[in-house]
Chain A
Amino acid sequence: MNADAPPIRSLQSGPVSPLVLEAPGAWRGLVIAGIFLLAITPALPLLAEALTSSGQAVMSGVFAAAVQGGLVIGVLAASVALVLGVPTGVALTLYDFPGRRALMVVLALPLLLPPFLIALGWSMLAGGGLDGPAGPIVVFASWILPLVAFATYAGGAGLSATAVEAARLAGGERGAIVLTARHAFVPAMAAAGLGAALSIADPGPGQVFRVQTAASEILASFAALGDFGLAARQSVTVAAIILAAAGPLAFLVAPRIAEALMARETRRVRRARMRGPRAAAGAAAAVMIMAALLTPMIGLVSPLAYSLVEGGDLRWLSRAFSELLRTGGDTLVYAAGAGFIAVLLGFALAVAVGRDAGRRRFAIAACLFLLCLPPALAALGMIQLATAAPAWADPVLRSRFALCLTLGLRLFPVAALFGLRAQATSSPSWTHAAAVHGVPLALFLKRVTAPHLAPAAAAAFLLAGLLAIADIGTALLLHPPGAASFPLAIFTVMANAPEAFVAALALVYVAIAAMLLFALWRLVGWKRA
């Protein structure tokens, strides 16, 4: 329906027509503005604090060096991930090889693990060999690599089968590879940029490899020095630096991502089964997965394996399960709460965006923009809100709900992308057919719209939940006393507990994440991959 058209309204009284779902209206702009305003609300008090508080200069000494180091680490890790991830994504797009689907599931796993767990694995494997910037670069590269590979895969999947066949005819396999890589390069760049931005805001790997990072400095300013004003100024500075770099990129790639989200009536790329390229693609993908996941996993397993061989008992695993039982309830609450809020806001945004191309591009750019913000910004802002609020607000602002809300607001852009994609796969003529044949709006929503959006909403819920529990930065700042999540429990004991215990905890976490990832994969369509 035309965005310039006047709103369709019935001058007769009667039930609301399903046509309102396709019609333009001021409510769309209001809902979109409201959601984005809500998303940045926790950061606003912090921004005010940063602008009004005075004290030690931010960009000097240790913090300036940490920011500079973080930027170098982020850029180098993203570059490595781009160099390795694009060929991996192209191989997954163009070639079929044994175990391809299973490899894709395994490749996605690092994305759902807190980077500090991957760092622990590398650290246990390499001893002190990776201490310094090399360690975080390796960890973040292996964490960003799947992001780049999947973005390349999604970008390449947007090509039609005939376009790839024409490239094959014209230039052989090289032609097909170059075409796919060029087509997918913008989403891959966006993924690498997003990964770099997120790495700068993550305190975990720096702590494991004894590198001072901006994120750990913010935590130290808040928790160790008790200087909230300094932490606020540092957070806002980091956010400004990240946004200066990632903001233009977000608006640059948004049209391309918006286009990729649209459903197409084209035949999808048929994956080749030629022996040579197939074997090479399979080997390349296997090597990438080995580098990204299996190597740190070997590192995580080794202390536990030594302990089992030497002692022959399972006490560390048993203690890890006890820890899981202690923290599992809260972990589930955080995951479910954040997932619910993210899906609610993300799908409301998708519905409000509708089919207007301009609104879709803006929403995607704003979502990428929000995802790049350091988690500490919203978390510290929430603390500031709780401090300023009256005591009766404590059950909301100093509770598990506050953590769920902050995580949900942080992750709703992920759910919004799912919602926008699901909506793009529906046809406006479904609504028109309902209007012509007299299907009431409520019945149409219940029987057609909701079932169509449900699989995407469930997948978004699961993914947002997994990402929420992997975000230890926010959990560390906002969890109520005695209500730590499972990954947070690992993070807090990793420096002092025996290696075998930390390894057992990490393995339990990886196993649960793998199971949930498998469920997610089944939900979004195993065969469609």
Chain B
Amino acid sequence: MTGNSGFELHNVSKRYGRQVVLSDISCTLPAGRHTALLGPSGCGKSTLLRLLAGLEPPDSGEVVQGGKLASTPEGMLIAPHKRGVGMVFQDLALWPNLSVLDNVRLGRSVSDARAREALAHCGIEPLAKRRPGELSGGEQQRAALARAIAAHPAFLFLDEPFAGLDWETKSALLEMISALARETGPTILLVSHDPAEVLALARYLIVLETGNIAEEGSIHDAINQPKTSAARHLRTYTLGLGRANPQEADQP
């Protein structure tokens, strides 16, 4: 495990051109608390994830990790690969000219043995020599996940990683990530629109709306007393599943 400290955002703002994506956000993401980031498209979920990962600096405010300043508008004080983060990108970002095994072991501090262990964990070791273009959608997701977990990160960032997958593949992957979170313990930060994914992987949620935090708290509280349409959607989904007692939603 690389590091074990949570993130804090202090008055963070970010804009693209004239569009303000995040506006004066402050929140805490402690280690061990699996969190879902919810909200409508374009509300800043992925941007928040990228700020935490160190892929972009904030325009104002600070990102703090483990009590140390990680990013400021002036630049990065902790490089992305030193934040103990593994990330599955929305488009998976697999390098197309490398084999699955090379995709996993190209990263720093990933030995051949660790790469094979990650592939085995994700159930795709037999596909190690194939290139991403030769894999199905579900296999590509597994390859991206293997790359993300190979260095045993403290945080696993998942940016809508299951979009476009059929239900069967998606539930197999959800089950696998849940098991991974239980066994090796990376803290999951999930960006998703799908209530099923949120309920399967997270215990805490942050709802973003027009660049601001509109709701924050445990999933249990959000389902019982929803304040935003995203939480209401989660409640409707939970009730539709027949969970009379939304307490069940508290279990990842």
Contacts and interface: CB of A to CB of B under 8 A. Distances in A.
A37 B80 CA distance: 37
A56 interface: no
B53 A436 contact: yes
Contact of A438 (B50, B78, B96, B109): B109
Contact of A430 (B53, B93, B102): B93
Interface in B2-48: 15-17
A438 B81 contact: yes
B107 A439 contact: yes
B75 A9 contact: yes
A433 B49 CA distance: 13
Contacts of B82: 438
A432 B79 contact: no
Contacts of B17: 2-4
Contact of A427 (B78, B93, B98): B93
A129 interface: no
Interface stretch (A191-199, A209-217, A440-448): A440-448
A435 B81 contact: yes
Contact of B97 (A3, A17, A19, A448): A448
Contacts, number: 112
A356 to B, nearest CB: 12
B211 interface: no
A438 B114 CA distance: 15
Interface in B147-170: 147-148, 151
A19 B108 CA distance: 15
A10 B79 contact: yes
A396 interface: no
Contact of B76 (A1, A10, A436): A10
B147 A433 contact: yes
Contacts of A429: 89-93
B74 interface: yes
A5 B57 contact: yes
B151 A438 contact: yes
Interface residues of A, number: 33
A28 interface: no
Contacts of B81: 435-438
A168 interface: no
Contacts of A452: 96-97
Interface residues of B, number: 42
Contacts of B102: 447
Interface string B217-247: 0000000000000000000000000000000
Interface string A6-21: 1111111010010100
A429 B106 CA distance: 15
A9 B76 contact: yes
B55 A436 contact: yes
Output the residue of A1, A14, A434, A440 with the most chain B CB within 10 A: A434
Contacts of A439: 106-108
Nearest to A5: B56
A432 B89 contact: yes
Interface on chain A toward B: helix, strand, loop, or mixed SS? loop
A451 interface: yes
Nearest to B83: A436
Nearest to A437: B107
A448 B92 CA distance: 15
Contact of A11 (B16, B75, B110): B75
A432 B106 contact: no
A432 B95 CA distance: 11
Contacts of B77: 10-12
Interface on chain B toward A: helix, strand, loop, or mixed SS? loop
Nearest to B78: A12
Interface string A410-450: 00000000000000000101101111111110011001100
Contacts of B109: 438
Contacts of B55: 8, 19, 432, 435-436
B61 interface: no
Contacts of B15: 4
B86 interface: yes
Contacts of A427: 91, 93
Interface string A219-247: 00000000000000000000000000000
A408 B15 CA distance: 41
A12 B54 CA distance: 13
Output the residue of B85, B86, B90, B106 with the most chain A CB within 10 A: B106
Given A2-B17, A6-B57, A433 B76 contact: no
A433 B79 contact: no
B87 interface: yes
B93 A433 contact: yes
B114 to A, nearest CB: 12
A12 B82 CA distance: 11
B73 interface: yes
Contacts of B50: 432
A451 B95 CA distance: 10
Contacts of B90: 429
A435 B80 contact: yes
A8 B98 contact: no
Contacts of B76: 8-12
A5 B51 CA distance: 12
B233 to A, nearest CB: 27
Interface in A469-509: none
A452 B91 CA distance: 17
Contacts of B54: 435-436
Contacts of A14: 79
Nearest to A443: B106
B89 A451 contact: no
A14 B98 CA distance: 26
- 9 closest Cβ pairs, A-B complex: A438-B108, A438-B81, A437-B107, A429-B93, A433-B93, A451-B97, A9-B75, A2-B16, A435-B80
16 contacts: A5-B16, A6-B57, A6-B74, A8-B57, A9-B75, A10-B79, A11-B74, A11-B77, A12-B76, A435-B81, A436-B54, A440-B108, A447-B98, A447-B106, A448-B106, A451-B97
Interface of A: 1-12, 14, 17, 19, 427, 429-430, 432-440, 443-444, 447-448, 451-452
Given A8-B75, A447-B98, 10 more contacts: A2-B17, A4-B16, A4-B17, A6-B57, A10-B77, A12-B78, A429-B92, A437-B108, A438-B107, A447-B95
Interface of B: 15-17, 50, 53-57, 59, 73-82, 85-87, 89-98, 102, 106-110, 147-148, 151
